[in-house]
Each structure stands twice: as C-alpha cells, then as structure tokens.
Chains A and B, each alone.
Chain A
Amino acid sequence: MDAEQKSVELNLEYGKIDAIIGSYSGEKSALIAILQEIENLYGYLPTWALKYVSKKLEIPMIQVYGVASFYDAFHLTPRGKHLIRVCLGTACYLRGSSRVLEAIENELGIKDGETTGNLKFTIQSVRCLGACALAPVMVIGESYFDKMTPTRAGKVLKQIQGKKEDD
C-alpha cells in the first residue's frame, strides 16, 4: 500500500515535469529554462528530478548536473520557506552590507547559503539586485528593505519570527 502510494505520488510529480518539458517542446537547449521552472516549483532541484530530465531530454546526467551546479540560480538541497537575500554588491558593500549579513547569520545561527533546521529560513547573499540607490538592501521573500543596518536587520527578523510563531 505504502509503496503503491509512493509510486502514485512520484508519477504525479513526473507528470508535472513532463508538462514543463512539454511546454518547451522537449528542446535540449531549453535545459536551463526547464531547470529554472523545476527550481521554482520545488524551491530546489531534487536529484530524482534531475535524473528524470536527463532521461527525457536525452542529455547525459553529468551534463545536467554540471549545469545545475554551475549556475547560482540552482540549488541542490531544499531551501527555507523564507528566503533572506542580503546584497553584497559594490554599492551595498561600501555602505556596510557585510555587517548586515553577519547580524542575520548571528541571529539565525546559520551561515550564508545555509538553511535553518526547521526549513524556515535560508540566507543567501547576492551580488546586486539592481536597487543600489537603496543600499544596503535586504530582501525577504518579495519584500525589500532599504538602508539596512545590522540593528535594523535584527529587528525586521525578530518581527518576522514573531509573526511566524502564530501561523
């Protein structure tokens, strides 16, 4: 029963990926776009999905894996529900964004690129979000926070943590 259910579920997931591949007419050159959509769907690239894409597009796994690990847009492990992006682009760095990053790392007890054990938060430094006039910039989910300081970042984070306890 369990195994059966599992295979049904997996088939369901394969179906989703088939749909994505289908929307690009199965073109090999669409590999990156296809992986981007899978990343959007799951928040990362599960290994089984990479294997499936490799089979379907007839691209060797080593090449699929190469692309998946080459680009910053892709992640091979699950990511937190809230993605915290701290900009380390030049404009933000000069105005002290590395200290903002550090404050958040300390607050959550994880390092840049890591995810908290409860899969709530991921910290990801980025190099310029194109909003340099607001430097230092921090983005949580889709919300932008401008002119950050370590202290303000700590406060914002506490607010979110507080709110999330409720839900």
Chain B
Amino acid sequence: MIRTCQELQALQNSLLNQRDPNKQYVRVCVGTGCRARGSLDVLETFKEEIRKQSLEIKVESKQTGCHGFCERGPVVVIGPKEIFYQQVKATDVNEIVSKTLLNGEFVDRLLYQDSTTGQKVQHEHEVPFYKMQTRRILANNGRIDPTNILDYIAVGGYQALAKAISNMSQEEIINAVEKSGLRGLGGGGFPTGRKWRTCREASGDIKFVIGNGDEGDPGAFSDRSLMEANPHSILEGMIIGAYAIGANQGFLYVRAEYPLALKHLQIAIDQAKEYGFLGKNILNYGFDFDIKIVRGGGAFVCGESSALVASIEGRMGEPRAKYIHTVERGLWNKPTNLNNVKTWACIPLIVNNGADWYAKTGTGKSKGTAVFSLVGKVNNTGLIEVPMGTPLKQIIYDVGGGVPEGKKIKAVQTGGPSGGCIPEELLDLPVDFDKLTEAGSMMGSGGMIVMDENTCMVDVARYFLDFLQYESCGKCVPCREGIKRMLEILTGITEGRGRGEDLGLLQELAEMIKDFSLCGLGQTSPNTVLSTLRYFGEEYQAHVKEKRCPAGVCRSLIEYTILEDKCTGCGACLKLCPQQAIQGEQKKLHVIDPTKCIRCGICRDSCPFIAITVR
C-alpha cells in the first residue's frame, strides 16, 4: 500500500536499484495478434528452457502487450540490446537461447528484412516500421508486463498522479490540459480541457468519469492494444481527471469482443486498489475514487455518449437528442465526463512533461500524436503513432512499407463507418483533425485502411452502409429508413441494376440523412458515399452506364476466366469448384462455364500458376 507521494518515489527508486540495466531479458508479446499465432507457447517454451538451463538468475523472461507490428507476430525482443525477432515459433526457442542468450549471436532467419533495401535489421529501433514513429501513448506498450503494476511504477507510473494531487490545484490541472491543446481521440476531436471544465462547473455534488473503450469501428484496434498493453496509463489518466473534475466514481466501458483487454484492465484495477491509487484517501490527499468495468453488449451505437450512458444504466443503447449534454446530465442524470481511453492515457504525459511539451508536437489546431491501426492493402499492418500533421504518404510508405505485390494505391479510408475515402491524388495531405474533415473524411477513433487497385470504391461504400444499416438503433426515421434506401440503391448499382438517376438520388438522400438524424451515427453515415461520389465518380459511372466493375470486385459484373498461356491443366481448380463449373482434361487447358460459375473465387485462390483472372 502506497500512502504518500514519498512512498511512491521510494518504491520507484528501489525498483530501479534492484533492476540491473545490463541484465538479459526476453520479452514475448502476448497481445491478441501474437497470441493468435501461438505466442503463449513461445513464452512457455522460453520459461521452460531457461529453467532447464538454470538461467533464471541471468535472464528474465516476461510477457508484454502489443508491440504494434502484428503483421510479423509473434514478436520477441531480447535485451538489453533489443534484438528484434519476428514470426517466432516455439520450435525456434531452443536456438535463440543457445545462440543469442548464451553466445550473443543472431538467429539470422528470425531477423526482420527491410523490404526496400533487402538488409536484415537487428534491433527493434532500427526497424523502419518503428523508426518513423513517435511513440508516446504507445511508448511503453511492449516494454512492460501489463499484469504487473510494479513494471508500470518502475517506468514512472503514477508519478503524474502524485504530482497532480500534491502540487497542482484542480484548476491548474484543467488549465494544463486546455493549454496542451489535447483533443479527444475517440472520434469528434472535441477539446478535452474544455469538456473537463464544463463538467467541473456543472452543478451537482455527484459526478462521473467514463473511459470509452467500446472501439466500434470495424478495422481499428488501437484502443484494444492500449487496454491490453498498458492499462495503468488509462487508469492514471482517469484518476487525475476525476480529481480535477470532482468525480468519485468512474466507469470503463469495454467491448465484450476484447476478452484480454477486459482481463488486463480488471487486474490493473485490482492492483491499483491494492497499492492505494484507487479507493479511499488516495495518496493521503483525502480524495476517494473507484473504477468499475462495464462490458459492452456488442452494439456500435453504444460508443455514442448518450447511448453508452444508457447502456451502463442497463437499458437499450439508444441515443437521445443532443440538446442535453452528458457533461451536464449524463449517468443517472449527473454530470458525466466521457473520454476515449487513448485520450485518458495522454493525461499523465501532459502532467509529467507539461502542456508546452505536449503542444510542441502537431499542427495549428491538432496537437500531439495520432494513433492509427494501419490495415488493409499495406505491407506493414499494425499499430502506429505519428505526430499530428504527418503526411498520409509518409505513413503509408515509410511506416507502412507501401502496398503489397507492387500494386497501385487507390485510396485511404479513415474514420471508420463515419469517415470517408481519400484518393491517391491527395496523399500529401497532412493528417490532422481539420485536414481530414476538409477532405471529406475524419480522424475517427484511429482506423486507417489502405485500398489498392483491386478495391472497388462502390463496394466499399456499400459495405459501410450495410454495417450502419445493421447498427442503426432505429430510433429516428432518417437514419433507419434513409440508410436502408441508400443501401438498396448501392446494392442495385453493384449488381448491375444501376439507373442514370441513382447517383443524384444518393446525393439527395445523403444530404437529408446528414441534416435530420438524431445522433452521430446517422449524421455521419453518408460520409463514405459522399466522399466516394466526390472522388471516384467515374467508377460509379462505369457500374451504372457500362455495367462494369473496373476493380473486378462486384460479382454480377465480372467473369472468371482461365489464361491459356498459364494453365498447365493441373486440375486443382476443377476439384475444388463447388459448382462443377470447370471442365478440362488433365494437362490440357481448362475452361470455366460462366453460366454455372457463382464467382466465389475459390479457383483463383487455388491455382498454383496464377492462371485465373477476373474480367
């Protein structure tokens, strides 16, 4: 139990003294991505091998959260030199122990190979994926064991809380957050300091703070990673915020699809209680605060503030009209301050380093860093953090390593279902809240999806509308009915039933839904359609007028054919075709009967000679 700020400092000092900076260590990522590929096995094997060879005193092995480079998982880092091994299997462990740990040699085949230079890279910080990033919110992901509070304390954890509670008035904390220019990282980019002030000044004795870890954007996983890898940074931010605002109870609303995040957060809360950072009379300053986890029910709309509040109260997650703000009347009608979990994790950084330090990075009205889940048709899929204002091109090529198979990039989608598509011509765009909005997209909660020439933009628009149509809570007509009608039109276009007037109708419906929907889900729902109409009008025209899908995606408009000069007559496709649509004798050219073909694409996946194409 830590009772005072001095005790916390003493604990950190003693932890640092105990730790030998030259001691060897093995860090194995056990985040969702690496775990799915067997990293738990890798960790267990390391532990066993180290025990067998009696290396426990020399080598420390531990689990960490997501390093971000999920594409290359399971990721293992060997210290103190930070040797970076990727795609490690349990069967590689023996060799790593005998070569690297015992003899200081590299295991060449597990090193990362730079795709542009062909060079092998030995250390984590030299991997281009990391080199080009500015990791602040994610700084300690991959360095600390998320289930061990002492690891967090050793890297300076809870010092911001100590500083805020002992040295700063509540007013000063809010001033610092305001001055830092921090804007919410959950979607809207609302100035965090201003929100806190409104909540602090709202009338009422009982107030609440909430951490939004619902991460509904399909294709984003930054919140998950942070919750899994560094849960205490979120808790520390919430405790400071609650202290400044005057709240004694907090909630963390977490997606049920994130079992590991839920587990790590609960462990973190229990440990924070045990150490006295949560509970009564925190650090002896007479401040009481507790945090409860609420597991989401799997509804996208519950990420919206008023729906989220309804869900915590145990009701259906339907939004309410915005004229009542949750900062004034939120949970059980009490003033409630809701922030995204990444926003909360920025608070200790600002308190520790000062508002000026935070504001030094970024652009005019977007300060600090932005975190993105970089996914889709990009070589280095993973979690990244870059200064606000970094050009899109730099993110995709320098950090992301470009598009696979030398294909051409077509567009980048940000902001999830509420966002839009930015075309290749605009890739020089500096990424910040306002520039993205100007381009017809938005920052959102950090999804960044790269699309190449094989992505059909009409189909992408249809995809997001389909998602939103399903997720609309149905409370108001423009959203419930409007999205459905737009989806019908778009489905028609992708199925070859597009009519000349459709594009005009889409535009008209989009404007109506935008203006008359009750909550953000409806209001932003037409964004993908509008942005693709704006930048990819020709592709829509090809579908409508020529009944042609240039990207070769829309099933009703394409045909699979076998290339004569490539087919060897191996028969692989013939066996797998579920429709028996393929004919041909062994070692002779095969052909697909278009009338039987359902365009499932199984033949193309299975052809070893890449002899099957789409027209």
Contact = CB atoms under 8 A, between A and B. Distances in A.
A135 B258 CA distance: 17
B220 interface: yes
B36 interface: yes
Most buried by B among A28, A71, A88: A71
A143 B32 CA distance: 11
A113 B606 CA distance: 28
A151 B606 contact: yes
B287 interface: no
A89 B381 CA distance: 15
Range for the number of chain B residues in contact with chain A: 35 or more
Contacts of B463: 90, 93
B312 A73 contact: no
Given A67-B315, A150-B600, A94 B218 contact: no
Most buried by A among B215, B413, B600: B600
Nearest to B449: A90
A131 B39 CA distance: 14
Contacts of A32: 294-295, 297, 311, 314
A7 interface: no
A83 to B, nearest CB: 13
A89 B216 CA distance: 10
B578 A130 contact: no
Interface in B340-382: 373, 375-377, 381-382
A99 B576 CA distance: 14
Contact of B600 (A99, A126, A144): A99
Most buried by A among B315, B381, B578: B315
B299 A70 contact: yes
B376 A90 contact: yes
Most buried by B among A32, A106, A130: A130
Interface string A61-99: 001001100111110000000000000111101111001
A157 interface: no
A41 interface: no
A74 B316 CA distance: 12
Contact of A130 (B71, B224, B298, B605): B224
B426 interface: no
Most buried by A among B71, B217, B375, B464: B375
B136 interface: no
B32 A36 contact: no
Contacts of A131: 32-33, 36, 70, 221
A132 B373 contact: yes
Contacts of A95: 376-377
Nearest to B69: A133
A130 B215 contact: yes
Range for the number of chain A residues in contact with chain B: 35 or more
Interface in B247-287: 255-258
A149 interface: yes
A36 B71 CA distance: 33
A103 interface: yes
Contacts, number: 136
B451 interface: yes
A31 B33 CA distance: 32
Most buried by A among B300, B312, B314: B314
Nearest to A85: B257
Contacts of B449: 90-91, 94
A19 interface: no
Interface string B218-257: 1111001100000000000000000000000000000111
Contacts of B218: 88-91, 127-128
A90 B467 CA distance: 10
A127 B219 CA distance: 8
Contact of B32 (A126, A127, A130, A151): A130
A119 interface: no
A84 B204 CA distance: 48
Given A33-B295, A126-B257, A134-B37, A90 B605 contact: no
Contact of A31 (B258, B296, B314): B314
A31 B455 CA distance: 43
B602 interface: yes
B522 interface: no
B403 to A, nearest CB: 12
Contact of B312 (A29, A72, A150): A29
Interface string A17-55: 000000000001111110010000000000000000000
Contact of A133 (B258, B382, B464): B382
A91 B449 CA distance: 7
Contacts of B467: 127
B605 A94 contact: no
A88 B467 CA distance: 9
B317 interface: yes
Given A73-B256, A91-B375, A150-B602, A29 B314 contact: yes
A91 B376 contact: yes
Given A91-B375, A91-B376, A132 B413 contact: no
B478 interface: no
Interface in A98-121: 99, 102-103, 106
Given A36-B256, A103-B600, A150-B600, A133 B73 contact: yes
Interface string B457-471: 000100110010000
Given A128-B221, A131-B36, A72 B297 contact: yes
Interface string B566-603: 00000000001010000000000000000000001110
Contacts of A137: 36
Contacts of B114: none
Given A29-B314, A135-B375, A130 B258 contact: yes
B97 to A, nearest CB: 26
Interface string B378-395: 000110000000000000
A1 B67 CA distance: 61
Contact of B576 (A73, A146, A151): A151
A133 B381 contact: yes
Contacts of B36: 131, 134, 137, 144, 146
B440 interface: no
Contacts of A102: 600
30 contacts: A32-B311, A36-B297, A66-B316, A72-B298, A74-B297, A90-B218, A90-B416, A91-B449, A94-B376, A94-B377, A94-B455, A99-B600, A99-B601, A102-B600, A103-B602, A126-B257, A127-B467, A129-B32, A130-B258, A131-B32, A132-B219, A132-B220, A132-B221, A133-B70, A133-B73, A134-B37, A135-B381, A146-B37, A150-B600, A150-B602
Listed from nearest, the 10 A-B pairs whose CB atoms lie closest are A71-B297, A133-B70, A90-B219, A144-B36, A72-B298, A89-B218, A128-B218, A31-B314, A91-B375, A130-B221
Given A71-B317, A91-B376, 12 more contacts: A66-B316, A70-B317, A73-B256, A90-B413, A90-B464, A91-B381, A99-B600, A103-B600, A126-B257, A129-B32, A131-B70, A132-B375
